[in-house]
Amino acid sequence: MKPKLIPALAALGLALAAGPALAKGELHIYNWGDYTNPKLIEKFEKKYDVKVTQDDYDSNETMLAKVRTGNTGYDIVVPSDYTVKIMIDEGLLAKTEPDQMSNFKNMKPEYVDVYWDKGRHYSVPWQIGTTAFAVDTDKYKGDIDTYAILFDPPDALKGQINMLDDMNSIMHAAERYLGIPRCSADKANLKKVNDLLVKAKPNWKTFSYDTITKMTSGDVIVTQTWNGAAYRMRQKMPSVKYAYPKEGIEGWMDNVAVLKGAPNMENAKLFQNFIMEPENAALISEFAGYDNGIKGSEKFLPASFADAPEIKRPEGAPTPEFVPPCPPAVVKIYNQIWTNLRK
């Protein structure tokens, strides 16, 4: 409810604030819920005299299903890494050439040649984060930097764990714990994953995306979650600690891309360039609590954010791994394992 309501209210507020003065252009953004800083939108509207409308989704797949039907009226979508690749492969995105834009120089070089958009011909970074888990260290004092916390929990944590209701992130976490490569089609490996999950499941209390509430309400002691969510948990509950499991950590990046045939193509390109401005990228991070891919944005953010343990990876922690979409044959077996797990 909340993630949907806030952007809707924000959009309404902006619409009212804009008053009778009619903007010259329009821009329709389709982004994740509870993810866009109203100040950022306001600034863009003022600068370019454009009226922005927003709509939101809760998973890449929801967005993809809607965009596939065509003629959505949206100009901008914010797909995650692997979804950008799918959308480019299926010809759903416009080649806006962000690499030719004036603010492109601000993009951190390590995010230019990414597998989902090599050389950045379609998309620019929105936010970047990792998926691992968080622990309430008031209730559990042991070492948390291992996936054993999720898959082989000590007695104190049994039945006190929330997992994301997300097939891929659980499969990949299990693969990391077992030392198996991602999207492995090898049957022996998949059987190991299956057995591990079946054994671990009785220790899991819930499957839910609503990780912040699950933790702060005291429903669970451990929750699989994203680093920005853990950052927000810690603001409410200082004992929360985000884990950097030694077996490896999942990275992801959401990217701003323009749909092919967007009704407001020029404004959409302006928006892509606009968010590569460090000050504007900082606005994005300030709201949702994730890092962005823009150099110099940290100057506009409080030091407590840039140095937060959830944002700044500690010395010796593994480098986040960006996982391409698994081949259909593997997804089919994942799906079987996943359904079987929850039958």
Report, in Å, the least distance between residue 231 CB and other proteins.
24
User: Does the protein bind other proteins through residue 112 (CB under 8 A)?
Assistant: no
- Give residue 131's identity as a one-letter amino acid code: T
Among 46, 47, 68, 158, which residue sits at the site for other proteins (rule: CB under 8 A)? Answer: 68
User: Does the protein bind other proteins through residue 97 (CB under 8 A)?
Assistant: no
Among 165, 247, 286, 321, which residue sits at the site for other proteins (rule: CB under 8 A)? Answer: 165
User: Does the protein bind other proteins through residue 137 (CB under 8 A)?
Assistant: no
Q: Are strands 161-163 and 204-207 parallel, antiparallel or unpaired?
A: parallel
What are phi and psi for residue 29, nearest 5 degrees? -110, 135
Ordered DSSP codes for 229-255? HHHHHHHH-TTEEE---TT--EEEEEE
In this chain, which stretch among 131-139, 146-154, 266-274, 333-341 interacts with other proteins, using CB under 8 A?
333-341
**Contact at 8 Å (CB) between 327 and 183?**
yes
**Contact at 8 Å (CB) between 314 and 70?**
no
User: Does the protein bind other proteins through residue 13 (CB under 8 A)?
Assistant: no
**Contact at 8 Å (CB) between 91 and 260?**
yes
Return the structure tokens found at 158.
């049994």
Using CB under 8 A, which residues numbered 173 to 202 contact other proteins?
187, 190-191, 194, 201
Ordered DSSP codes for 314-334? PTTPPPPEEPPPPPHHHHHHH
Among 80, 130, 131, 168, which residue sits at the site for other proteins (rule: CB under 8 A)? Answer: 168
Tell me whether residue 154 or residue 324 sits nearer to other proteins (CB atom). 324
Alpha-carbon span 67 to 71, nearest angstrom: 8
User: Does the protein bind other proteins through residue 14 (CB under 8 A)?
Assistant: no
State the burial class of residue 167 (Cβ atoms within 10 Å of its Cβ: 0-12, 13-18, 19+): middle
Alpha-carbon span 247 to 71, nearest angstrom: 43
In this chain, which stretch among 70-78, 264-272, 313-321, 334-342 interacts with other proteins, using CB under 8 A?
334-342
**What sign does the CA torsion over 135, 139, 142, 147 have?**
negative
Report, in Å, the least distance between residue 188 CB and other proteins.
8
Report, in Å, the least distance between residue 159 CB and other proteins.
9
User: Does the protein bind other proteins through residue 43 (CB under 8 A)?
Assistant: no
Tell me whether residue 69 or residue 304 sits nearer to other proteins (CB atom). 69
User: Does the protein bind other proteins through residue 239 (CB under 8 A)?
Assistant: no
Tell me whether residue 23 or residue 167 sits nearer to other proteins (CB atom). 167
Question: 3-class SS at 191?
Answer: helix
Among 100, 235, 239, 336, which residue sits at the site for other proteins (rule: CB under 8 A)? Answer: 336
User: Does the protein bind other proteins through residue 332 (CB under 8 A)?
Assistant: yes
Tell me whether residue 1 or residue 21 sits nearer to other proteins (CB atom). 1
In this chain, which stretch among 37-45, 71-79, 111-119, 166-174 interacts with other proteins, using CB under 8 A?
166-174
User: Does the protein bind other proteins through residue 312 (CB under 8 A)?
Assistant: no
In this chain, which stretch among 84-92, 107-115, 149-157, 172-180 interacts with other proteins, using CB under 8 A?
84-92
Distance set, CA 336 to CA 167, 259, 333, 341 (Å)? 11, 33, 5, 8
Alpha-carbon span 16 to 100, nearest angstrom: 35
Alpha-carbon span 139 to 128, nearest angstrom: 30
User: Among 106, 73, 74, 342, which residue's Cα sits nearest to residue 207?
Assistant: 342
User: Does the protein bind other proteins through residue 204 (CB under 8 A)?
Assistant: yes
Alpha-carbon span 29 to 45, nearest angstrom: 13
Using CB under 8 A, which residues numbered 240 to 299 contact other proteins?
none
Chain residues in the site for other proteins (CB under 8 A): 1, 59, 61-62, 64-65, 68, 86, 89-90, 165-168, 187, 190-191, 194, 201, 204-208, 217-219, 325, 327-328, 331-333, 335-340, 342-343
